[in-house]
Amino acid sequence: MVTQITEGVKISVETLYQPAYSNPANDYYLFAYKINIENLSEYSVQLMSRHWHIYDSNGTHREVEGEGVIGQQPIIEPGSSHEYTSGCNLKTDMGNMKGSYQMRRTIDNAEFRVTIPEFYLIAPYRLN
């Protein structure tokens, strides 16, 4: 698990290769990632949008941007957290992701960017 804190918001990421949904013969590898967003600040915050950089080990780079996460723009109260699971497909059995969330403090509508730490997507058999 990788973790990073930006402006009082802690991001933790776990990954899991999905062999049942992958098809290596067709260069299709699916990975799930679980993200926990914990509000360590004294203010309520709302996740407004996301921005991802996705890298395959063959040098391919993609960017993905959009509102919220999995169709939600959650408000996270001080001391609370929001967890979700999503997925990413790669053309290789190794890669990585990193990015950021655009957050908004609900008390004054001030927006700030929270770093999503870089994490690796690696099929377990590559680690042997």
Say if strands 2-6 and 9-17 run parallel, antiparallel, or are unpaired.
antiparallel
Residues 2-123, CATH architecture? Sandwich (2.60)
Query: Rg of the chain over CA atoms, in angstroms?
Result: 16
Q: What is the mean pLDDT of the chain?
A: 97
Centre a 10 Å sphere on the Cβ of residue 30 and count the other Cβ atoms it contains: 17
Question: What is the rounded CA–CA span in Å between residue 116 and residue 93?
Answer: 22
In the prediction, which pLDDT does 125 show?
87
- Tens-place pLDDT, residues 109-118: 999 999 999 9
| Nearest one of 2, 9, 5, 34 to 104, comparing CA atoms | 9
> Residues of the chain whose pLDDT is less than 70?
none
Q: How many CA atoms lie within 13 A of 70 on its CB side?
A: 11
In the prediction, which pLDDT does 126 show?
84
Domain ranges of the chain: 2-123
**pTM of the predicted protein model:** 0.94
